[in-house]
Amino acid sequence: MSGVDVDAVAKTVQAEIERQTEAAFASMSADELAQTVQKLEEQLEKAKAALAAQESGPARAVAASSASGSLPPLPWGEGTVDGAKVHKFVDETMSKRIMIIDGAMGTTIQQYKFTEADFRGDRFKDYHRDIKGNNDMLVLTQPDTIRDIHRRYFEAGADICETNTFSGTTIAQADYGMEELVYEINYTSAQLAVEAAKEVTAKEPHKPRLVAGAIGPTNRTLSISPSVEDPGFRNCTFDEVVTAYKEQVGALVAGGVHLLLVETIFDTLNAKAALYAIDEFWDENSNLSRLPTMISGTIVDQSGRTLSGQTTEAFWVSVMHAKPICIGLNCALGATQMLPFMQALSGCADTCHVHSYPNAGLPNAMGGYDQTPEAFAKEVRQFADLGLVNLLGGCCGTTPDHIKALAQEVASIKPRVKPTPPELPRMKISGLEAVTVDLKQFGFLNLGERCNLAGSAKFKKLIMDNEYDKALDVAKHQAENGAQVLDINMDDGMLDGVAAMTKFLNMAIPEPDVSRLPMMVDSSKFHILEAGLKCCQGKCIANSISLKEGEEDFIKKAKIIKRFGAAVVVMAFDEEGQAAGYEDKVRICKRAYDILVGPRVQFPREDIIFDPNILTIATGLEEHNNYGKDFIQACQWIKSNLPGAKISGGVSNLSFGFRGLNALREAIHAVFLYHAINNGMDMGIVNAGAMPIYSDIPEPMRTYCEEVVLNKSEDGNHVERLLKFAEEEKERKSAGGGAVAKTNKLEWREKPVRERLTYSLIKGISEFVDEDTEEARQAIKSPLQVIEGPLMDGMNEVGDLFGAGKMFLPQVIKSARVMKKAVAYLIPYLEEEKAQVRAAREAAGLPPEEDKPKGTVLMATVKGDVHDIGKNIVSVVLGCNNYRVVDIGVMCPCDKILDAAIAEKADVIGLSGLITPSLDEMVFVAQEMERRGFKQPLLIGGATTSKMHTAVKLTPKYSGFICHVLDASRAVGVVASLLDDRLRDDFVADTREQYDEMREEHYASLADRKFLTLEKARSKALAPDWKAIPRPVKPKLLGTKALLKYPLKELVPYIDWNPFFAVWQLRGKYPNRGYPKIFNDEAVGSEAKKLHDDAVALMNEFIEKGLIEARGVVGIWPANSVGDDIEVYGDESRGDKIATFHTLRQQEERDDEHYLAMSDFVAPKDSGVPDYIGAFAVSAGFGSEELCEKYKKENNDYNVIMTEAIADRLAEAFAELL
């Protein structure tokens, strides 16, 4: 290990030792402190003696002998090393005897007592900064000495020497400004070590020597923030570290090393970056032979953990994916202190050999090491005697003499016997601690879902509000409440998922209460998944990938996850869609398994987790009733046919139809899990704290749930039975938990017909619908008005109740079917009414009206998404309401959707999607609709969609109407409003107003806004071709003109009365928002009408008596823009600049193509196009102050407010007129 005594890593370790020593001093008694002082004084005398001996010792060997003559090649090949041969030799040799690796490069270099001038040599004599201490670059200025050190270690008995490249990355060399020399340093260092290996091997051909390319930890840590104030901050990224390591690996391989050694790992995430770089290097250089990799960690103190907090076993689990030929520990501790941790590592590293190269004891008070070669060798021997190791060596404080003594000490001791791994290893994952996944031995694994935006409304709000520290408390509570793995998901259309995932995990990793647990990094966007994996030092679970984009995409993603060393969740999707039934579940899982364990990926079987899709049961659609049973049977098949594979799933999906009845939902989950676990389900996203034990679920609830979960009962009426039970539970809940009072079940039949129809729809009662529909028809006369009136009102109430969690999904389906029956009853009367209209027009000599169908709705699940159950329910509900529904399926590309909309003459287009990437695809569809000139309304729905996302991300992309539809129960009302000429305009205007407000609130409330640089914003300015567009017309007026005593009567038609009602805080509800519809509102209509009448009367009085006066002034001048400024000129010569308007350009990051300034709308000066700018100022308040004073003296506050409001409306009307 090169340069340890000056490297930042050693400083960190030393500081930790000093910190703990200081803490110990504080707790000592006076006697203990006196004894400690005596011992330290003895150590100090020893250090002084050692220093004196070195100063009076042999002269420093600045000029070591250079290599001469040609040497025979090593057995591993000349030039390109045969990695397979090296692996075979090392594996066999370590199985026969304990091999020896060299000692400390830094300690040995110190023997040469190099000065700053020696470090510089001729090449760097004029370098701009000090470089003494940069041991790695001595391979360029003192190459003979470095070669000589390798030779000395080989001659002392070392089988393997490390290259002098401990700090050989651009990150570490940045301390000296020598980043550009990294490749040369590593390449040269490898060649020097190989030359020494050849030289000694030529003398001892029976014992060929090897060179390990030393890859140190860098002086940065990826798991710990360097800032106390900001635990989420990192001063380098995973990608930067990978890039640095990959350059080092390339140079070492090119220089001829035989093994790669990732060493002195104090932060496992740094090591994972190195291992990632190594694997990526071999993947990119497939023509080269893969060299064996060795891995060496560092336990910093007696806690038995790395500096970043991992236990020895967790460290092994985190790096075992790299399949090292040997793993071990080095540095920080002496052999005695290291012993228990070596025992732990030797016990768990069941697929490779084990090594140790400890320090020469603990450092003395001066930072030096006193342990003699003989004492070091005897202390290290205990590892060999206990059968713990296959390779031994030395770290800080050791020299060739220490290695010689060690080699002699262990020469006759047999090495550790490498365990024979089981045919089917158990799955292991890790955080700071390791977890073994074994259903039979350790039981079901609870995946905590409270740190999932879709699993916790509280967590989502905290993340959206940028309160990450409080969100971290949610994770802590999950860990305290028994979660064994934390599921972290940051998928939301309104969130930067990569930034959120990175920030949260970076804050979570230093929290031991949280990071002791393994993480499930969860995202439907693979780049967010990758971002999460780059933050975790432990072995994670990556959730998820699937075959929906085809095999090549699946293989690519699986190989990346494997490179991170993570386990993988595979969703049961393929190119055809989501696996709903048993046959599809097993077919897709089998196909995915074969690909993963096959030669192209070689994914560990035990690390494959299938999610065969837990889908909603008891929805009211018969085809959904077997979903629970299908999942359970698929579990059994997977366990029997796909060795090693695990099974997981999101259990809450199962009971989605019973929102609002949490006790019933948890009972359904408990029953389901009882059967699923018994059939092999290993883990799941569950709310463990709320779920009852299967045997504790009271009857008859347990039987009802079991019948529905297994879709089996004697009479076949189990879904209806559970639905009835759910309704009773809801009523009991509404009654405060007490007994529900018995009522006459037909009491509702005595209510008016409108209420009876609504009751039938809500309760799903079809028995009386024909007679009630007929009664309504008789009363209303028009069958169409029966549909659009009482029936539609009833369906809207169904939507409100479902949205509030007071109705269940099966009830909504039943309601739709009652609606369908009522409409079917009215169809003959509708046809009769049409015939009468046709006859009447024909008798009057008028052409027949075009027979317009109720409407066609095109439905599609967007590209990249295979979920269609919710969409299918919407289709059923719309179909039951007599709409023509064209469902073109799942994974639909944009062109397919839009072409189908044209071919089917769709009146409305509906897009569905469950996963977050679908939101981006929906944005693309909206953009394409705008580009292709579509006008149809676009409806958006699905689990990850939201009204806010629709308002912020979608509506700016399409000038047509876009509306978010919350669920199936709302679809009918929305479509009906859009296709009714009488309702459409108000509905569209009202929705757009809501979305405009939401969009502005969103941008105003962003706590962590991002801004473009002004330069970048200016590059995105609106830049029309001023020569191509019509030239600005020269105005008739140039200069200013005053408008005095402007006739108020001319302003009245321009008045917008809506702000007037806002002054009085009167606001109607849709469809009665806005003037004049506000007069029809039940709550505020009458008061609004009275207020308006008073205002009109008072305004007319003002006009007739001339009590107030309107005045204005308007000006127009020649103008041109210069950048973000607008220059205003005195005349058409444009030479006399009379003013400059400095306009501001938008910089806040938005989903807009252009970042605008007002100057963009004025022709630039250099365009040669003459342009103009206008301004005006108006008021209709002259005289209003006097009137208000008069009314105040009369104590008429009502007229004071009214006068101000009227003057305000007239002033705006004046502005509108101008």
Q: What's the 3-state SS for 129-193?
A: CCCCCCHHHHHHHCHHHHHHHHHHHHHCCCCEEECCCCCCCHHHHHHHCCHHHHHHHHHHHHHHH
How far is the C-alpha of 663 from the C-alpha of 1138, rounded, in Å?
75
Torsional class of 715: left (φ above 0), alpha (ψ -120 to 50), beta (otherwise):
alpha
* Nearest-10 crossing angle of helices 182-203, 238-255: 40
How far is the C-alpha of 1141 from the C-alpha of 1139, rounded, in Å?
7
| Lookup: tokens for 101 | 């690796």
Cis peptide bond prior to 1076, omega within 30° of 0: yes
Q: What's the 3-state SS for 783-846?
A: HHHHHHHHHHHHHHHHHHHHHCCCCCHHHHHHHHHHHHHHHHHHHHHHHHHHHHHHHHHHHCCC
∠ CA 467-472-473 to the nearest 5 degrees?
105
867 labelled catalytic: yes
Q: How far is CA 810 from the centre of its chain?
A: 33
Four-point Cα dihedral 550, 554, 556, 562, nearest 10 = -170
Q: Are residues 789 and 780 in contact, defined by beta-carbon separation less than 8 angstroms?
A: yes
DSSP state of 289: P
Identify the active-site residue in 918, 977, 1121, 1184: 918
Name which of 621, 609, 541 is nearest 580 in CA terms. 621
How far is the C-alpha of 881 from the C-alpha of 876, rounded, in Å?
9
Identify the active-site residue in 258, 867, 949, 1092: 867
Q: Are residues 946 and 493 in contact, defined by beta-carbon separation less than 8 angstroms?
A: yes
CA distances from 442 to 130, 438, 1059 (A): 58, 5, 66
How far is the C-alpha of 968 from the C-alpha of 970, rounded, in Å?
5
718 labelled catalytic: no
How far is the C-alpha of 164 from the C-alpha of 146, rounded, in Å?
8
Phi, psi of 720, deg, nearest 5: -60, -40
865 labelled catalytic: yes
Phi, psi of 610, deg, nearest 5: -95, 140
Identify the active-site residue in 487, 492, 607, 865: 865
How far is the C-alpha of 959 from the C-alpha of 602, rounded, in Å?
50
Q: Are residues 939 and 974 in contact, defined by beta-carbon separation less than 8 angstroms?
A: yes
| Lookup: tokens for 517 | 């647990």
DSSP state of 1053: G
Which sequence positions are flagged as catalytic? Answer: 865, 867, 918
